[in-house]
Structure 1
């Protein structure tokens, strides 16, 4: 009887330990870039090395160290008659999908190919400001990291 009790305690302890490890691995916090000029934030994986904020403080390079990977986030005042990202996307034959961000707001995700790279761009317009997360990455990087890129773009939030 005592052996069975110890066996049950051992199994229970093992299950609790496994659950704690699983919870810890799922709760690894991503880093957060906050842009105070335009009032927005984007989350990114902690293993990414980000660049310095641009001189005009409109955004940042979220991934430095690989010449085949360009992932930027930035914002600017939106003037539809001067620059329309949807027209540009349509002219290049890109797909435009409506997605829901983590904050439950709707945005557009533009996806297409430019030369040997994948163009993956979130466009969110609110209060005359256009917010972007723009990735131009190699096809192999995209295939390995598509879920991560989607998580990054969906994390865009306005403050």
Structure 2
């Protein structure tokens, strides 16, 4: 079986000023109507991978489930991001976020089947590491 090289696509978000790269053979959705981000993988109801920005609001509870395990992830840009990984309703859940100095929160959200995660874990983490402010 011949080895194929997959080109990567970089999505640039002008509203919140970030970019992220993902495999070119993934079918991504359109940017959301409000311009905060987009789905990076569409066409399978068991796969929810999205990226988005938001303004930080004081007093909003954005806690994660106790079943989630925390780790710090250094992005390719050198920024340290917070990452939580765990299971929710039989799915693997990965949430990555970091905040800019001007109080914009950048988010990468993954909720996929265990089989998809096991087959694509390196790609999912490579995507996460590619996220950066622009």
Q: TM-score, normalised by structure 1?
A: 0.78
Between the aligned partners of 2:80 and 2:54, the Cα distance in structure 1 is: 18
**Which deviates the most, 75-84 or 108-117?**
75-84
Between the aligned partners of 2:61 and 2:55, the Cα distance in structure 1 is: 10
Between the aligned partners of 2:49 and 2:21, the Cα distance in structure 1 is: 12
Runs of 4+ deviating beyond 3 Å: none
How far apart are 1:34 and its partner, in Å? 0.5
Between the aligned partners of 1:59 and 1:153, the Cα distance in structure 2 is: 14
The SS at the match of 1:108 is strand
Partner of 1:31: 9
Aligned residues: 131
What's the C-alpha RMSD, in Å, of the aligned pairs? 1.6
Between the aligned partners of 1:80 and 1:144, the Cα distance in structure 2 is: 38
Partner of 1:94: 68
Select which of 13, 24, 27 maps to 1:46: 24
Select which of 126, 129, 134 maps to 1:154: 129
Specify the structure having the higher radius of gyration (Cα).
1
Partner of 1:4: none
Structure ranking higher in strand proportion? 2
Q: Does 1:107 align with 2:111?
A: no
Partner of 1:79: 57
Structure ranking higher in helix proportion? 1
Matches within 5 A, 1:61-72: 61-72=39-50
- In structure 1, the gaps of 5 or more residues are 1-21
